[in-house]
Structure 1
Amino acid sequence: MPDTSAFLFIQLDADRDEEEVFYDISMTVDNKLYPTKEPIAGPSELDLSLLADSSSLADVPTKFDEQTDEEVAGYAEAIGESFPVETKKQKVIFVIGGPGSGKALQSEKIEERYSLKRLYPGDILCSELQSHSERGRFLRDLLERGEQLPEDTLLDLLCEAMASTVRQGKGFLVTGFPKNVKQAQEYETKMGQPDIVLFLECSADIMSQRLQQRATCSLHTKEARDRDTRRRVDGFCSLVSSVVGHYEHREVLHKIDAEQPPEDVFEQICLVLDSC
């Protein structure tokens, strides 16, 4: 049996500023979930592009292919019905912001002050990949073959995590989700509308500058770091406007000036949360 650890585990230097570590983790996970035309990660990282059209899995022979359409539909329906009613009644706060916007630091502060259960979809996916569950093995097999994950994987894992921790804390703080409008719509279909969406608004130039300053310990060359950083920032900016518009229309969006010092940013956030 091949050693799967070479495919699934990445060593990162955690003896750094939390935001810098969070950036490296986010970049690695996002590379696997939200593919770009050019690879962001270097060859030493997981050379994968994952969360794309699930139809690309049609040629991958698995036991799931043997299920009938009725069985698959029934499974999907069962997943939706498995979430307890009280899950949807818990207060749910989304924090969206680009790389370098400070969402990791601010999410930690929010979690501590308001006793919320913080969920980061990338962490949930990593935990599933490391688990011994049938689904975890199935997903690892896909990654090892360089295949893409089914596009609803992340959402299903997030919803299940929320259902399993429904009685912990006063609600949920979901960081870095959704990435696009489709994810937002599918979440609402399964779990309902979030109560509050905090958008940490920060210009592309400021985000890039912050990331470049934090990436001094990276093993990549400065040119490669700058290229990767700008690509990731531009990728976020190209999608976020539609997500912001989606939540503005539903009157749950609150824009936070994330270009201010961290303590001022948190003060803005507290004013919003204390008034809602």
Structure 2
Amino acid sequence: MTESPELVTYRLEPALADRDDGTAMVAYLTLNDPDRRNALSDALLDQLSGLLRRAGSDSQVRVIVLTSSHPRIFSSGGNLDAFADDRPTITKYEGLNRFPNLFRTLTEIDKPIVCAANGDVLAGALGIALACDLIIAKSSIRLGCPEINVGAFPFMISALIFRATGRLIANELMMTGRLIDAFEAAAAGLVNKVVDDAEFDDTVRQWVAGIAVKSPLLLGMGKRALAATRDLPMDSALDYLQAQLALAFTTEDLAEGVRAFKEKRAPQWRNA
């Protein structure tokens, strides 16, 4: 029996360069199907979802980084061969839950997830990137939704694009299929930071290290609160957030953070 190819690789590295004691790790999940430009096949999506859950359940992992092994492409998006094959429609329909389930997984994991966009982020891959918490992009990459050019439409990822940028920009990307460079994407609110290619890896590590020293407990509470309140009316959101702040006051990490700040020392998080 032939083993399934490793379409997503998983490796752990110390999150802090000066602390290799295994207590603060970063999980790197690397899309690894370069011959097909990391097309989002069913097999790749299944492996990615499984590895995300693995990283999410590992108490030593502080930050998750999603990146690519391809020298120029993060991912070309959905598998076009699957769009036009002769499988029965019901068979294709059964697999449609992979994208929304992956987006939900990225949102529901308590740990910060950084998309290290080291290549072009296209079509469905743009949805994956936008479902992450932060996006760092190489200055040389392009982003966009070219699906309309092959007679498709980015139905599933439209929900994420509309939550990341304005309606008119979102419509332009989806209706014209135009690709934009990293700087235009940053101006539109689609990426956090654009970095020169030569400085990209170091910048990603710096961001990861900066996040890793924060309280894992409070980061997790904060991420859940953001997801829960993003689409609520203001009054409902404020009520929910007040309850979360009250809960935060009961944690040892909040008190420890204040003590460490006053004593000018690094905090010792309770659940680290």
The TM-score bracket by the shorter chain reads under 0.3
Q: Which protein has greater RCO, CA pairs closer than 8 Å, 6+ apart?
A: 1
State the TM-score, normalizing by the size of structure 2.
0.28
Higher fraction of helix = 1
Higher fraction of strand = 2
